[in-house]
Amino acid sequence: MPVTIYDVANAAGVGISTVSRVLNENTNVREETRHRVLEAIEALGYKPNILARNLSRSHVQTVGVVLSYFTNPFQVNVLQGIERFLSQAGLDLTIFSLESPKRRETLLENLSHGRRCDGLIVVSFTPEERFLQRFQRFNIPVVIADFADERIPSVFVDNVAGGYMATKHLLNLGHTRIGYILDHVEPPNGSGGNEPGADRQRGYQQALLEAGISFDPKLVSESGLHSRERGAVAAEWLLNRTDRPTAIFAASDMIALGVMEYARGQGLRIPEELAVIGFDDIELASFAGLTTVRQPMQEMGRHAAEIVTRLMRGEKVLRISRQLPIELVVRESCGALAERG
């Protein structure tokens, strides 16, 4: 016999109106009561009405997209690819932002219990295992964009290869002191976090090792968020050294643009005195003449939307994890339009 809202109410020691308010994310519920209701929902395996309604329809309607930083141009580009596919497929899109740490736990709990969306795309991080188990329990497919995860469908690029590609280009131009700026982002609630920057560092170190250059941790700096301001702060730390690098590889274009802005403010000529490479190839990179490793951001979003939509409709997807190609785009910030022999 299926579990009803009355069973949940009895187990939690509340009325059905309280359960309904929790399911509809009404803020007029005490936090202690809300957690008690959610625990009862999970223990009993209750499927909220929104999921039941969707299962009774011939096809599902809503895809949720969780962004860790809505102001990040990379994530905005991925979102555009998602939106275009879903729009053509006649599906609705709901955007959730995790920029506020206070929202993370509540949002993931609500989504993983089957409310507000029928499929989910998470950009740049993996939710905790307990949430993934709940999504599976409520038959809500989850796809990760910009992060390779063997447990669930993923769309990603080879970030190690990208880091190697960028560093190899600088080495071929004659640079031997190459700095790296890592886009370290604190994982939300102990999740998988944002690892692409760490993978790009592995590629950076691999290229140095291959060239016979010892890795110097003093040439690696952390910027935190993808922003020009943080990139400038990291550049200040690297460029005010007596043995400063002659080239900097930044984990994202926004960080690289901050590096260029700070360097020029200090009177350094780019590329004569400092070569700079970024990662992503956002629109501003071309305008600024920034050499970068291009990844297909909108295509990444489109693939993620296609996979989650097909899974939501119960279709079999033979290739549920996809690695997309990357390429080096050489512009003026490195001082050469082609690598030397």
Same-domain check for residues 166 and 289: yes
Collapsing DSSP to helix, strand or coil, 143 comes out as strand
Characterize the bridge pairing of strands 327-329 and 291-294: antiparallel
Question: In this structure, is residue 265 part of a structural domain?
Answer: yes
Question: In this structure, is residue 264 part of a structural domain?
Answer: yes
47 CB burial (10 A radius; 0-12, 13-18, 19+): middle
Q: Whose structure tokens read 């029928």?
A: 118
Collapsing DSSP to helix, strand or coil, 46 comes out as coil
Domain CATH number, residue 29? 1.10.260.40
Q: What is the pLDDT of residue 6?
A: 76
Q: Which of 46, 61, 77 is the last residue of a domain?
A: 46
Question: In this structure, is residue 3 part of a structural domain?
Answer: yes
Question: In this structure, is residue 51 part of a structural domain?
Answer: no
| pLDDT tens, residue order, the chain (341 aa) | 677 777 888 888 888 778 777 776 666 778 888 888 888 887 887 765 544 444 444 444 789 999 877 778 999 999 999 999 998 988 889 888 776 556 666 777 777 766 678 899 999 888 888 888 888 877 889 999 998 888 899 999 999 999 999 999 999 999 999 999 998 655 444 444 457 888 999 999 999 999 999 999 999 998 766 678 888 999 999 999 889 999 999 999 999 999 999 999 999 999 999 999 999 999 999 999 999 999 999 999 999 999 999 998 888 877 788 999 999 999 999 976 544 33
**Inter-residue contact 292 to 278 (CB < 8 Å):** yes
Q: Which of 46, 63, 81 is the last residue of a domain?
A: 46
Q: What is the pLDDT of residue 340?
A: 38
Question: In this structure, is residue 257 part of a structural domain?
Answer: yes
Alpha-carbon gap, residue 34 to 12, rounded angstroms: 9
Q: Whose structure tokens read 């206070």?
A: 102
Which domain covers residue 164, as residue numbers?
Answer: 157-295+327-334
DSSP 189: G
- Closest Cα partner for 300 from 75, 120, 20, 88? 75
Question: In this structure, is residue 321 part of a structural domain?
Answer: no
Please state at what angle helix 159-172 crosses helix 196-210, rounded to 10 degrees: 40
pTM above 0.85, yes or no: no
The total domain count for the chain is 2
Same-domain check for residues 34 and 163: no
Domain CATH number, residue 174? 3.40.50.2300
Question: In this structure, is residue 316 part of a structural domain?
Answer: no
Question: In this structure, is residue 152 part of a structural domain?
Answer: no
In sequence order, which residues have a C-beta less than 8 Å from that of residue 311 and are 6 or more positions away? 119, 141, 143, 153, 317, 320
In sequence order, which residues have a C-beta less than 8 Å from that of residue 202 and are 6 or more positions away? 160, 163
